[in-house]
Amino acid sequence: MREQVIINENLSLRRTDAGARFVCACGHDLADGSTNFKEACAVRESPTADIGEGYASFAVEMAAQMCFREFFCPDCGARLTTEVARVGDPYLWDTAPRL
Amino acid sequence: METAQNVVWDGIVRGYAPPDVLDIDPSLTLQTAEAAEVDPITYEVIRNSLQNINLEHGSTIQKLSISPITMIVRDFQCAILTEVGDVMFLGPYLLYLGNTLGLTTKWILENRSASPGIEDGDVFLSTDPYVGSSHQQDTGLTSPVFWGSELFCWVSNSVHYSDIGGPVPGSFCLMSQDIWQDPPCFPPMKLAEGGKVRADMEDLFLRQSRLRDTVGMDLHAALAGLSVARGRILKLIERYGAETVKAVMKRTLDAGERAFQEKLDMIPDGRWSERVYTEASVPGDPGIYVSQINITKEGDTLYIDNEGSSPQVGSINNTYAGLVGATLAPLTIMLAYDLGGVSGGVSRRVKFRPVPGTITCCDYPGAVSAAGVFNMPMVVATATGAVAKMVACADPPLREKAIAMADAQAYGGWIFSGLNQYGQFFVGMSAGMAAGAIPASPGRDGVDTGGLFWVPGMEAANVEENELAWPVLTLYRRENSAGAAGAGMYRSGVGAEEAWVLHGTDHLDSQIYMNESFVKNQGLLGGNPGGRAFHRLKQQTDAAAQLAAGTVPQGLDQVSGDEVPLFYKGMPAVLDPTSMWTTNLPNFAGYGDPLDRDIAAIQIDLTDGKLSTKDALKVYGAVVNEAGQVDVDRTAEQRAMCRRERLAAATVGVSHA
């Protein structure tokens, strides 16, 4: 039986008295393990062209439909995950390990 | 939308998904008997011999083919398959083609064993993506190997042929709305009988092509590969006996399955997904579409579905064979890296539950010819993201085998046609991806221009080889910087850029160029996404005058002229003697929070000139002093401030469910 699943250096799924919980390395209890942890994050959404040099294109209207999302621990500001998405699309529930 | 339970996956209406037990005509006898015991030394000798036979099959194709895409880039695959079409050994070539060979072979067993029959010396040719290929250009040849009157095994290959007909040179038909606007689609037919090539069938295939001679030479290279492999296998059987060789084949597959299961044991159960966006179902279409792959792990089995993918549309579709091949490629790299190409055991533990009628698993008559440079890389990338997130959750050391996403849609780089410097019509395919970039992994940086991981044997052509084959002059080929693109706690390897002018001709048409409207390459678990693949063109430049004066322009911004706005899947771009153009293979995806990147790693990139002081600060929060050294204390302060700024700019508690 697993006690935890390390997802990356800042995020893990841990067995607790309250069940499986997503927890940040800073100790912040982020979310229930059966949910999309992104919903509990602090989220910054910005144009993809703002990521850095070379991301901008001639297709400004099409690029304007897309965004870059950064999901942070709301306590320490660690970036837990990112996604490029169409503006308004739901956060992708992409990481759902079970203990 | 229909589900997998109520559709017929027959290779005609929908992609072919073979049943667990094939329906083979009883007139065909399979060799299934195997020796009860094989001593360990004999086992290893035979196993390695089979692996080397397959490698020799591949090297034969590579040596005898004449198109650069096969000879140098190695856009092909070869395999040895069991008597029922399970892939035993794959070559180190285009991985997603591996399983398509198994699908085609199984379809032949079910649909050709009664008529026209399967006999010794036959070679079947297929261009049908609904039977088992990624697109028509990846034409498959598969040949039964008989021992006596029994079918012992199969040898098979799939080669990308430079032009197999259809409306446009190169056969990538971006305007297609259905398969009838694509190049011809031939279900498996007998190209050879009794060891002799049928002239009528060879002509039927070659007659479609604008490049009959080139495609004909490559076709015979593929036939030679089959012949070499078949001959070597028969000699192995002569020496050790059919039942002993068969026992080794079966036990090798069983061992591969066990090794794969051992890795699955290190991964928790759960579900992982990836989503990649693409644009333009046909040129001019402003729409945006979704490719999604989901992996559910339950015990010792992986279940793959594509729920969330957009309905099939225009020319941006993949068949079931494409979906399977694209998913097994990253699984092979991350979870079967130690099996030496034995992929059949892996396939036993991977079950597909596809949603048909989607761009990731389309129904007939969806157009698919463009998939090779657009949708196959996209689905490979999508699957890579899902597999990488799953493997990152594994116990150490397996989690370090996760690899972030490589290219999403830039494979192929640039396809062009016209008259070459020898006055002959040609179609060129510059594999801009061949230089590659290995993306980041948990625990390590990627590899700069380290190749494309899902085509392990791929090589970039030398500049001189390109200039010999095509009427172009390369101005430069150089690595990108390690800036924002692919940044992370561990960064992606960097890609490369190349620039050209015409040489020896006064006109070429660019059929395909990769100028993405937006970045598609998703970062892994906190990493930055990869860069945007771009292709830039200037007309009326002074590049020729600069060359005449002894200066080689080192950037599009260093020449005069007018930049032509190029759009993703734009119309063919005309190149003339005043043109200068560049294509950029971007860095791929990074892993983890860039603010967690080790100071020493940043210092190395600064010292090597791969990272600017400006990007060190902006991307990594690293403060560099006047001596070019990262200031540790000020960097810690800067990073703390960056984290506070993140939260100040972020929104909490806004649901997008």
- pLDDT tens string A84-95: 999 999 999 999
Strands B76-81 and A95-97: unpaired
Strands B138-147 and B150-160: antiparallel
CA B72 to chain centre: 15
Burial class (CB in 10 A: 0-12, 13-18, 19+), A90: middle
Pull the structure tokens for residue B467.
Answer: 């200039």
Domain count, chain B: 3
DSSP B425: E
Identify whether B146 is part of a domain.
yes
- Are the Cβ atoms of A97 and B652 closer than 8 angstroms? no
* B615 and B498 in a common domain: no
* B458 and B569 in a common domain: yes
- What DSSP element (H or E) covers B102? helix B98-111
* B97 and B188 in a common domain: yes
Tell me the chain B residues in contact with residue A82 when contact means C-beta distances shorter than 8 Å.
522-523, 526-529
Residue where a domain stops, chosen among B591, B610, B637: B591
Q: Yes or no: say if B421 and B176 are a contact pair by the CB < 8 Å rule.
A: no
**B79 three-class SS:** strand
Burial class (CB in 10 A: 0-12, 13-18, 19+), B400: middle
Q: What is the dihedral of CA B63, B64, B70, B75, to 10 degrees?
A: -80
> pLDDT at position B379, please?
96
Determine the average pLDDT of the residues in B529-556.
96
Q: Is the pLDDT of residue B345 over 90?
A: no
* B474 and B424 in a common domain: yes
Identify whether B407 is part of a domain.
yes
Chain A: give the shortest CA distance to residue B259, in Å.
21
Angle formed at CA B545 by CA B541 and CA B547, multiple of 5 degrees: 105
> pLDDT at position A54, please?
79
Identify whether B77 is part of a domain.
yes
Tell me the chain A residues in contact with residue B526 when contact means C-beta distances shorter than 8 Å.
8, 10, 78-82
* B504 and B608 in a common domain: no
Look up tokens 């910054």; give the residue.
A44
* B607 and B483 in a common domain: no
Ramachandran quadrant class, B340 (left: phi over 0; alpha: psi -120 to 50; beta: rest):
left
Q: Which residues of B532-565 are buried (b: 16+ CB within 10 A; e: fewer)?
A: bbbbbbbbebbbbebeeeeeebeebebbebeeee
> pLDDT at position B652, please?
81
Q: In chain A, where are the structural domains located?
A: 4-86
> pLDDT at position B374, please?
86
> pLDDT at position A53, please?
83
Identify whether B7 is part of a domain.
no
Model pLDDT for residues B166-218, shown as the tens digit of each residue: 999 999 999 999 999 999 999 999 999 999 999 999 999 999 999 999 999 99
* B566 and B603 in a common domain: no
Q: Does A76 touch chain B if contact means CB atoms closer than 8 Å?
A: yes
* B636 and B507 in a common domain: no
pLDDT band at B2 (very low <50, low <70, confident <90, very high): very low
* B202 and B54 in a common domain: yes
Across the beta sheet with B350-352, the strand order is A95-97, B270-279, B288-298, B301-305, B350-352
> pLDDT at position B657, please?
46
Domain holding B546, by residue range, is 403-591
* B198 and B75 in a common domain: yes
> pLDDT at position B415, please?
87
Q: Is the pLDDT of residue B511 over 90?
A: no
Identify whether B70 is part of a domain.
yes
Identify whether B621 is part of a domain.
yes
Q: Which of A3, A7, A8 to mutate to test the interface with B (most CBs of B within 10 A)?
A: A8
pLDDT band at B1 (very low <50, low <70, confident <90, very high): very low
- ipTM score for this prediction: 0.98
Q: Does B389 touch chain A if contact means CB atoms closer than 8 Å?
A: yes
- The CB-based long-range contact list for A93-96 (8 Å cut-off, 24+ gap) reads A93/A36, A93/A38, A93/B273, A94/B272, A94/B273, A94/B274, A94/B275, A94/B385, A94/B386, A94/B389, A95/A7, A95/A37, A95/B270, A95/B272, A95/B389, A95/B393, A95/B525, A96/A34, A96/A36, A96/B270, A96/B271, A96/B272
* B234 and B136 in a common domain: yes
Closest CB from B389, B592, B654 relative to A9? B592
**Which of B172, B132, B137, B136 lies closest to B156 in space, CA to CA?**
B132
Identify whether B122 is part of a domain.
yes
Identify whether B528 is part of a domain.
yes
* B532 and B628 in a common domain: no
